Amino acid sequence: MKRRRVAPNDLFGEVPAASSGADSTRAAFSVSELAGALKELAEGALGQVWVKGELTGFKAYETGHWYFTLRDEGAQLRCVMWRTYAERLRVPPPEGTEVYLLGTPTVWAPRGELRLSAVTVLPTSGVGVQQLAFERTRELLERDGLFDPARKRALPAFPRGLAVVTSSDGAVIHDIVTVARRRWPATRVVIVPARVQGGDAIETLVEALEMVDRLTDIDLCIVARGGGAKDDLLAFNAEAVCRALARVRVPTISAIGHETDVTLADLIADVRAPTPSAAAELALPDRAQVARHVASLANRLAGGLRRRIDWQTERVDRIADRARHAMTGRLQRQSHRFERLATALDALNPLAVLARGYSVAQTDEGKVVTRRSQLPPGTPFTLRVADGAIQARSE
Amino acid sequence: MTDPLSADLDRLEQIVHALERDDLDLDGALALFEEGIGRLRAAKERLAEAEAKVERVLTDAAGVLKLTRFDA
């Protein structure tokens, strides 16, 4: 850190007595410099620590940050909990509660105050050493983003190889294999044995999880442990196990302990299942359901083609109809015209006049008699009347 | 690792959708239908696979992985 020195000569014309510290060449700090240096010291000296004390003077600001004091008989410390952490707790412990606080000492330079920057607060009643360790591990994993929802991977729809990390004796394997046989026998199940409780549980679990990535044709991993006392699940809260689980290259499902127990490994896994059987059900598709889906696709496939053919047939029918209609129309129009002409023709038919009593005289040559000179006396002619002809002779 | 069954089912969905739309000529529809039948057969065969294979991993002294049949 480069420090700007205040040249003492500018003030009094003489150098003030050198401090008794090791760095005798140092001139005076500025206030900000000293506060900054103290802040660094405070944060670096102890790092993150657990502190036990009574919580008082709690105040939640609109910004979401919490301010309060932690005290015991001999001392008190101002504390701040930034919104990101306060949000996780939602409800602050009541005033006067004795708490464990996980935080880092720091200096707030603008006020020159020593502060504890708190990450979490737990009421001491009912909190054991295990829970403190749990909280600390959770904090470490959280800081590395291992609980980030964006890390969660989707499970494969039809896994070909399923690795199961669990105890090689016990009901878990039996449950998972039973579900696998019923739902999706096409998946190969590979059991990767580990001890799930006891002294070497952490070590064997880490080894087993690392082994999963060395297996070929595995695309999903279940890590499971049957129900048990809460203390039996400790290995699944261990940082090493959580990190090993986070490193597994295929999607992971956890099923650890009873449904009500949530271990850190459960938070790391891509999916958490309440029981080992449920994990297998989440992992594998149901053969009967897939068969129904396939059957419905088969129906729709046939139906799709059927409809396609029906449309074509209908289209041909429609065209034929239109053609027939067009032809009929045309014929009708022609027949109307014919009738009209026939009527007109009929009106002009000279024979119609005969019906009214007129007659027409024709010479033997068939010429109509219109003049007297055509029929000198004694000339034969034909008189045409309505119902025939009469042979006659002029006089 | 793409699963062949999922590929078959995805393609079948596509084919069915195409057949259910109106903008295909009959030849195209028939070709799709034939492909669909093939995919259906493949899917059904995979569904019929019977026995689940269960194995157990062991490591030998040299740390080499070995798989053995496991009867649960």
The interface pTM score, or ipTM, of the predicted complex is 0.73
The confidence score (pLDDT) of residue A20 equals 45
Residue A236 pLDDT more than 90? Answer: yes
User: How far is A226 from chain B, CA to nearest CA, in Å?
Assistant: 16
Average pLDDT, chain A: 85
* A10-19, A110-119, A227-236, A312-321: the lowest-pLDDT one: A10-19
The confidence score (pLDDT) of residue A239 equals 94
CB A388 within 8 A of CB A354: no
* Pair of tokens at residue A38: 């103290």
Is A174 at the interface with chain B, CB within 8 A? yes
Count of CB pairs separated by less than 8 Å, A with B: 112
Is A193 at the interface with chain B, CB within 8 A? yes
Is A191 at the interface with chain B, CB within 8 A? yes
CB contact under 8 A, A290 and B59: no
CB A6 within 8 A of CB A30: yes
- If you search the block for the tokens 């999706």, which residue do you land on? A184
Please name the residue ranges forming H helices in chain A: 9-12, 31-46, 83-89, 129-143, 171-183, 201-214, 239-247, 264-268, 276-283, 287-348, 351-355
A4-8, A68-72, A385-389, B65-69 — most confident range: A68-72
A190 contacts on B by Cβ (under 8 Å)? 54-57, 67
CB contact under 8 A, A157 and B30: no
pTM, rounded to two decimals = 0.58
pLDDT digits (tens, 9 = 90+) for A372-389: 888 888 889 998 888 888
CB contact under 8 A, A185 and B50: yes
pLDDT tier at A115, thresholds 50, 70, 90: very high
Assign A220 to helix, strand or coil: strand
Residue A218 pLDDT more than 60? Answer: yes
CB contact under 8 A, B72 and A297: no
The confidence score (pLDDT) of residue B55 equals 85
CB contact under 8 A, B56 and A190: yes
Of B6, B20, B49, the CB nearest to A300: B20
- Counting other chains too, the contacts that A102-105 makes at CB distance below 8 Å and 24 or more residues apart are A102/A48, A102/A49, A102/A50, A102/A132, A102/A135, A102/A136, A102/A139, A103/A48, A103/A49, A103/A51, A103/A79, A104/A43, A104/A46, A104/A47, A104/A48, A104/A49, A105/A42, A105/A43, A105/A45, A105/A46, A105/A49, A105/A77
CB A141 within 8 A of CB A201: no
Residue A13 pLDDT more than 70? Answer: no
> Which is more confident, A50 or A305?
A50
Beta-carbon count within 10 A of A105 CB: 21
The confidence score (pLDDT) of residue B63 equals 73
Closest CA to A59 of A69, A48, A51: A69
B57 contacts on A by Cβ (under 8 Å)? 190-193, 211, 215
A309 contacts on B by Cβ (under 8 Å)? 26
> Which is more confident, B47 or A49?
A49
Residues in Cβ contact with A258 at an 8 Å cutoff, skipping those fewer than 6 apart: A227
As a whole number of angstroms, the distance between CA A143 and CA A10 comes to 48
Is A192 at the interface with chain B, CB within 8 A? yes
The confidence score (pLDDT) of residue A7 equals 44
